[in-house]
Structure 1
Amino acid sequence: MTRADHAGSVAGDVATHQASHEKNSLPLLTLGAIGVVYGDIGTSPIYAFRQATHVRPGAAGTDVEILGLLSLIVWALTLTVAVKYVFFVTRADNNGEGGTLSLMALARKTFTKPPIWITALGVLGAALFFGDAIITPAISVLSAVEGVELVAPGMTRWVVPITLLIIVGIFAVQRFGTAKVANVFGPITAVWFLTLGVSGLVQIINYPAVLMALNPLLGFGFLFTHFGIAFVVMGAIFLAVTGAEALYVDLGHFGRKPIVIAWFSLVFPCLLLNYFGQGAFVLLQGVENVESPFFEMQPEWALLPFVILATMATIIASQAVITGTYSLTQQAIALNMLPRMVVQHTSATQSGQIYMPQINTMLMIGVLLLVAIFGSSEALSNAYGIAVSGVMIVTLSLLIVVMWRNWKWHPIAVIGFGLLFAVIDGGFFAANAAKLFQGGWVPAVVALGVALLMWSWMAGRARLSEKTRRDEVPLEFLVNNLSKKKPTTVPGTAIFLTSDVEGAPTALLHSLKHYKVLHEQNVILTVRTSTSPRVPDDEKVTIDAYNELFFRVVVTFGFMESPNIPKALALARKLGWKFDIMSTSFFLSRRSLKLGAKSGMLRFWQDRLFIRLARNASDATEYFHIPTGRVVEIGTQVII
C-alpha cells in the first residue's frame, strides 16, 4: 500500500462495497470516494508547503523562490496524481481490484512461469507499505493537533500527550468495526476540501499574482538555481502527493469513474486553491514572518473550528491506512506471503470489514513510539517519504509490464512512458533517500524487516513443501491399493486437507496407520488461491471421483476473499455432492517443525525464523472457519 498500499484499505470497512450494488447512485459513490480515497492526500496541505519553505533558512527568501516552490507542488500533483495515477494506473485493474499485490498478480498472469523478480517487486511493495503505515497516523494527527499552539500558546507542552491520546483512541475502536463512523467519512471530508478551497481562494483574491506559479519554468528555475539543495526541496515537495496510491488501492470498492469524478470535481481544485492560497499568504506576510501558513492564514475567529476540523480529517486519513494494512495483510496471507493470522469480521453483510488484533497492536505501538520519539510533525517529515516513493517505483515497474504484455502497447510508447515517470519517481525517491539518517531509516528498517519475514516465510514454505512431497505416497497409488484391499469402513464423511494435489495427505496415512479404518466417503480437499481477487461461486468448487470411496475436491478462493470451507463445500450440492457437516470430520495435519543439520549461516537463521513464524501462525481451524467440534488433528514431525 501509498499510505494505502495498499493492499484493500479502508474502503472495505467503509461501506465501500457500494460499488457492487446497483441501487447505489454515482453521487453516493463519489461522496464515499472523497472520504475514503482522498482523506489521506487531503491532509498534506497542513505540512507540505510549510516544509517546502523551511528546507533551508533563506532558500525561500524572495518572491521568485516562493513561486518556484509552489510551482513544483502544483506540477507534482498534476503529473504524479492526475496524469500517472488517474489516467493510467487506475486502468490497470485486476478484475476491478487495485493495489500493489493486485498489480503483481495481474503481471504474473501474463507469464506461463512468472519470473521471480515480479514476485520480489510485490513483496517489496507490500513491505514498503507497512513502513509507511506507522508514519501516516503519527504525522497526520500530530500536524493537526499542533494547530492548538496558535489558539493557545500555553498548550504547546500538551501537543504530544493529546496526540498520543487520540492515537490510542483510534486504535482502540478498531475492534468494533468502522461501519458507523463510515457514514460520516464522506461528508466530513467533503466539508474539509471545501474549507481548504474557500480559505485558499480568499488569499488568492488578496494576491492574484500568485497564479504565476502555474508556469512550470519557475519550478525548474528554482531547482537549477538551488542545485545544492534540490534533493532536500524535492523531499519536501513530495509530501504534497503522498496518498496517491489510495487512488489505486480502493479501485475495486468504488470503480474508476467515481474516483476520477471526485478528483477533478472537488479534490484537485480545492488542493490547488489551498496551496496557491498559502503561497499568496506567505508572499504578502513575508516568509520570515510565517511559521505555519496553513493555520495562520485563517481568520482568528475560525482558527479553533479549523483545528478541530483538521483533527477530524487526520483521524479519517489515519483510519484509511490502518484498515488498509488489515486488507493488505489479508491479501498477503492468501497469497502465502505471510503466515496465517487471526481475522475477525466486524460485519455480517460486508466481507471487507475485518479487524486483525495482532496487526492493530503492532501498528499502535509503532505509531506511539514515533510520536514520542520525534515529538513534532516537522521532525517526522524527515522520516516520511522513502516508503511511499518506493511503492510508487514498484507500481511503475509492474505497470510497465502490464502495458507491454497485457495492453500490448508499442515498445516505444512503453519506454517513453517508463522513462518520463522513472525520472519523476526516481527523483522523489532519491530526494527522500537523502533524509535516511535524519529519520528516513525508520520506514526503511520496518520495510526491510517485513520483506525479510515475507521472503523467509515463502522460502521456508517452498522447502517444507518439497520435503513433504518427497516423503509422501502418491495419492493415486494409495487409492488403487485401497480399492483392491478395502479396509473396514465406518459411516460418515472424512475430509483430509492438503496443499499437495499429487501426494496422499499425511493425516490420511496416519489415520490408516493408527485406526485402520476408512469412512464411507473420503474427500481429499485442496484449497487454492486464485490470481484474481474474487472467484464466482459457480467456479469455486471442482469435484473428481477416484472411486466410490475417494473424491478429489479443489476449492478456489480469490486473494481478497476470506476462506470459508463449510460455505464453499455447501456450494458442492449443486454438483451433486450431498454435504452434511454434522456427519463430517475434518482431518488436519499439525506439523511440528525441527531444525536439521544445516550448511551456511543464511539457511540456519532463515529456517529458525520460519519455524518461529509457523509456531505463531493462526490455527488452520479458525482461519478456514471449520467448526472446532468436527476437527481431528494428527501430529507429525518434520525436520527441515
Structure 2
Amino acid sequence: MSSQTHEHQPSNGLMALMLGAIGVVYGDVGTSPLYTMKEIFNGPHAVAATPENILGILSLIFWSLIMVISIKYVLFVMRANNRGEGGIMALMALALRHRNQQRQRNVIIALGLFGTALFYGDGIITPAISVLSAVEGLQVAAPGLEAYVLPITIIVLIGLFMFQSYGTEKVGLLFGPIMLVWFGVLAVMGGLSISQNPAVLEALNPLYGLHFFLEHGWHAFIALGAVVLALTGAEALYADMGHFGKRPIQLAWFSLILPALAVNYFGQGALILRDPTAILNPFYLLAPSWAMYPLIGLATCATVIASQAVISGAFSITSQAMQMDYIPRMQRVHTSTEAIGQIYVPTMNRTLLLLVICTVLGFGSSGNLAAAYGLAVTGTMMITTLLTLIVALDSWQWQPKWVYPLVAVFLVIDSAYLGANVLKIPQGGWFPLLIGGVLFLLMSTWRQGREVVTYHLQKAAMSLTKFIDSLSAKPPLARVPGTAVYMSARNLSMPHALQINYAHNQVLHERIVLLTIATEDVPTLLDKERVDIDALAQGFYRVTARHGFMETPNVPKILGLCRLLGLDIDMASASFFIGKETLIPSDKADLNPWQEKIFLFMFRNASSPIQFFKIPPERVVELGVQFEV
C-alpha cells in the first residue's frame, strides 16, 4: 500500500498506522538499549566509566539520534519516496531516473547493489544479536543458566523463521501493543533511574560530546564504533515507509520512540554513575530483581519483533531485486490480500535461518557480534546519503548551494561512524563485509550474465514485422483453431518459441498473442496503466503488460485486463508457449571463467517462469533453445 493513500487519514486511522509503525518499523532501533551501553563500557575498546566519560557518551548517543535518525532519515531521506515506497532499491530506481550516461548509471547501480548486499548482512546479524542479547539476561538473573543461552536463542530463532510462512498479517495487531508496552517500560525504568541522579541530564548539552572528543582524541573516535549501535534500524524507517506512510512514522518517532530511547539511555548512564559495576549489563540492572524474568520475556518478544521487521524487509528487497532482474527468480508467496509488501520467499527464509544460526554459534555472544554489526549499518547509511544527494539534485530540483552543505554534514557523520567501524574488521567487522562482497558478486554476475543472454537472444531473433509481412507474401498457411500466447522478452523481435514452433511444425494458431512483461521503476501501477494492446496483421496481437517492482506479475490477471480492452482470451482453451533456454559453457566465453560457473549455477536453479508468472501449467508448451555463454 502506498503512503500516498495514508497522507489524509482520519485521526483514528492515523493512530492505527502509528501503532503499526511502532510495532514493525521501530523494533530494531527500539531494542538497541539492550546492548549499546554495555558494549561501549564493557566491549573490546571499553571506555572507562568515569563521570565525564559517561556524560560524554550520553551526549554522543543523544545527538546521534537527533542528527542521523531525526534529521537525516525522518526529515530528509524519507522525502525520497518512489510513489510512497522507500528502501535502497526504490532509492536506486529514483536516482537512475534522470541519469542517462552509462558510466553514471553503472556507479549508481553498483552503490545500490552493494547497499542491498549490506542490508542482507544486517538481516543476518540483527536476529542473531537481538535475540542473543535478550536471552543473555538469564545470565544476570541466574549466572548458572549461562549454558542455556545459546540453545534457547537457537530455539527462539527457529520458531521465528518457521512462523514466516504464515505472514506478518497474522500477528500484526499484536506487534504494536507489545512494542508500546516495551517503549513504556524503557521510559519508566530510565525515568526512575534519572530521578535518583537528575544531574545526568546535563549530557543533553552537545558540548559534553565535544569535550569527550577533545579529551580522548583517537580513543573517542574508536568509541563511535559502539555508539553507532544506538542507530541500528534507521534504514528500516525508510524501507518500511510504504507500509505505513511517512507521517505516521514521523509522528511515532518524535512523540514516543525518541523520548523513550533517550530516557532509557540516560537512565542507564545514571545507574553507571551510581554503580560503575553496572557496566556488565546496565539495561537489565535497571530493573528491580522481582521484575527480571518478566523483563527477559518482554525483551525476547521485542527482539523477535525487531528481527521480524528485518526479515520482512529482506523478503521485500528480494522481491524488488527479482523484478529488476538483479537476482534469479524464486518462488514468492503473498501472505496478505491487501498489503503488497507482505510476501514470503521460502528459499530466502531457509537461507537466512541457516546463516543466522551459524552466526550465533560462530560468535557465541552479543558482545562478539557487536563488532560485526556496525559496519553493515554504517555502510548502508553512507550509500543512502549518496543516493539521496542525487535524488535531491535531479528529482527535487534543490539548489546545489543548499544540498551540498547539508549532505556534507551527513557524510562527515557517516564517515566518522564508518571509519570507527572499519577498525573493528579484525574483531568481526569482516563478517558483514564478506557477506556483502559475496552477495554483490552474485548480483552483479547475474545482471551481467542476463545481459549476455539477452544479447544472444536478440542476435538470433527474427524481425517480427518481416515475419508477418512474409506470411502475407506466401500461400495461405494452415492455421490451428484457438489462441497461442507467446511470452516475449522484447516486443519488437519474434519470440524464439514462435520461431522454433513455426520452423518445425509449419503451422500457426488463428490468433497469436505476443506477451511482453516489463518492470517499471515505480513500486506499483494502477490497472488502467498496466496493459497496452497493439493489433497487428495476420491475427497477431502485441500485448505489453507493465508492473511495479513491488508487484508480482500475474498472467491470468493480465489477460483479464485484456478482455476489458476488447481482446477476449479464454484461459481454459489458450495455449502458452515458453522458450526454455539451455546455457552451456563456451570456449570464447562472454563472461570470466569464474563468472560463467556462478551464472550457470544460478541460471539452472532459478524458479520456473511458469510458477513465477502464475501460468496454468496444464496449458504450457516449452520449446528449448541452446546458447553458449
For normalisation by structure 1, the TM-score amounts to 0.95
Q: Which residue of 2 aligns with 1:344?
A: 333
Show the counterpart of 1:109.
Answer: 97
For residue 206 of structure 1, the aligned residue among 188, 196, 212 is 196
**Which segment drifts farther, 219-228 or 100-109?**
219-228
Question: Is 2:295 the counterpart of 1:306?
Answer: yes
Q: Which amino acid aligns with 1:102?
A: A
Separation in structure 1 between the aligned mates of residue 94 and residue 520 of structure 2, nearest angstrom = 11
**How has the CA–CA distance of structure 1 residues 310 and 58 changed in structure 2, closer, same or farther, with 3 Å as cutoff?**
closer
- Whether the aligned pair in 1 keeps the contact of 2:536 and 2:542 (CA below 8 Å) is yes
Identity of aligned residues (%): 46
Whole-angstrom distance in 2 between the partners of 1:183 and 1:325: 21
CA contact (8 A) 1:382 1:438 kept: yes
Alpha-carbon distance between aligned partners in 1 of 2:8 and 2:546, rounded to the nearest angstrom: 24
1:168 corresponding residue in structure 2: 158
Query: What SS is found at the alignment partner of 1:134?
Result: helix
The structural deviation recorded for 1:226 is 1.7
Q: 1:337, 1:290 → 2: CA distance?
A: 45
**How far did 1:22 drift?**
6.1
Aligned-residue offset at 1:232: 2.4
User: What's the offset of the Cα at 1:20?
Assistant: 9.2
Q: Does 1:380 align with 2:366?
A: no
* Amino acid across the alignment from 1:144: A
Look up the match of 1:98: 86
What secondary structure does 2:238 align onto? helix
User: Which of the residues 550, 568, 584 maps onto 1:560?
Assistant: 550
Letter in 2 for 1:550: F
In structure 2, what is the equivalent of residue 32 of structure 1?
20
- Aligned mates of 2:586, 2:166 — CA distance in 1: 44
Q: Is the 8 A contact 1:19 1:253 kept in 2?
A: no
Aligned residue runs from structure 1 range 17-416, under 5 A: 19=6, 25-55=13-43, 59-113=47-101, 115-285=105-275, 287-416=276-405
Q: Which amino acid letter does the alignment assign opposite residue 103 of structure 1?
A: L
CA distance in 2, matches of 1:206, 1:364: 43
Is the 8 Å Cα contact of residues 207 and 280 (structure 1) preserved in structure 2?
yes
Question: What is the rounded CA distance, in whole Å, between the counterparts of 2:355 and 2:46 in structure 1?
Answer: 35
State yes or no: 1:502 paired with 2:525.
no
Q: 1:64-86: per-residue Cα shift (whole Å, max 9, x none)?
A: 11110111111111100001011
Give the secondary-structure state (helix, strand or coil) at the position aligned to 1:382.
Answer: helix
1:57 Cα shift? 7.4
Structure 1 SS opposite 2:373: coil
Q: d(CA) in 2 for partners of 1:17 and 1:411? A: 28
User: What corresponds to 1:580 in structure 2?
Assistant: 570
Unaligned runs of 5+ in 1: 1-10
Partners of 2:505 and 2:573 lie apart in 1 by 18
> Could you list the per-position Cα deviations for residues 549-571 of structure 1 after superposition, in whole angstroms to 9, with x for gaps in the alignment?
11111000100001111101211
Q: What secondary structure, in the 3-state scheme, does the structure 2 residue paired with 1:339 have?
A: coil
Q: How far has the Cα of 1:21 moved from its partner?
A: 11
2: CA distance, partners of 1:179 / 1:482: 53
Aligned AA for 2:239?
V
2:483 to 488, 493, 501: 493
**Contact 1:200–1:278 (Cα < 8 Å) also in 2:** yes
CA contact (8 A) 1:598 1:604 kept: no
Asked if residue 626 in structure 1 is aligned to residue 615 in structure 2, the reply is yes
Distance 1:630 1:221, change over 3 A: same
Give 1:352 shift: 2.9
| 1:402-461 Cα shifts (integer Å, max 9, x gaps) | 111111111111110121011000111111111111111111111111110100001011
Aligned residues of 2:483 and 2:573 also touching (Cα < 8 A): yes
Give the superposition deviation at 1:501: 2.1
Displacement of 1:475 = 1.0
Given that 1:231 and 1:434 are in contact with CA atoms closer than 8 Å, whether structure 2 keeps it comes out as no
Q: Does the 8 Å CA contact 1:33/1:262 hold for their aligned counterparts?
A: yes
In the alignment, does 2:608 pair up with 1:614? no
Query: How far apart in 1 are the matches of 2:550 and 2:459?
Result: 32
Distance 1:204 1:88 in 2: 32
Q: Which residue of 1 aligns with 2:411?
A: 422
Q: Is the 8 A contact 2:243 2:339 kept in 1?
A: no
* Alignment CA distance shift 1:58-1:634 (3 Å): closer
Shift of 1:58: 7.2
Residue 7 (structure 1) aligns with: none
1:18–1:29 CA contact under 8 A, matched in 2: no
The alignment of Structure 1 onto Structure 2 pairs a total of residues equal to 625
Bigger mean CA offset, 214-223 vs 37-46 = 214-223
Structure 1 residue 59: deviation in Å? 3.2
TM-score w.r.t. structure 2 length? Answer: 0.97
C-alpha deviations, 1:175-224, integer Å up to 9, x for none? 12222221100000011001100110001110000011111111122122
State the distance in 2 between where 1:528 and 1:61 align.
58
Cα deviations across residues 613-639 of structure 1 (Å, max 9, x unaligned)? Answer: 110000000000000011100011111
In structure 1, distance between residues paired with 2:334 and 2:94: 27
8 Å Cα contact 2:545/2:558 also seen in 1: yes
C-alpha change, 1:625 and 1:448, in structure 2 (3 Å) is: same
Q: Does the C-alpha gap of structure 1 residues 174 and 61 become closer, same or farther in structure 2, counting only changes over 3 Å?
A: closer
Task: Report if aligned partners of 1:18, 1:254 keep a CA contact under 8 Å in 2.
Answer: no
Deviation at 1:351, TM superposition (A): 3.6
| Cα distance change, pair 567–58 in 1 and its aligned pair in 2 (3 A) | closer
Which residue in the other structure is 1:452 paired with? 441
Q: Secondary structure of 1:160's match?
A: helix
Structure 2 equivalent of residue 470 of structure 1: 459
SS in 2 for 1:352: coil
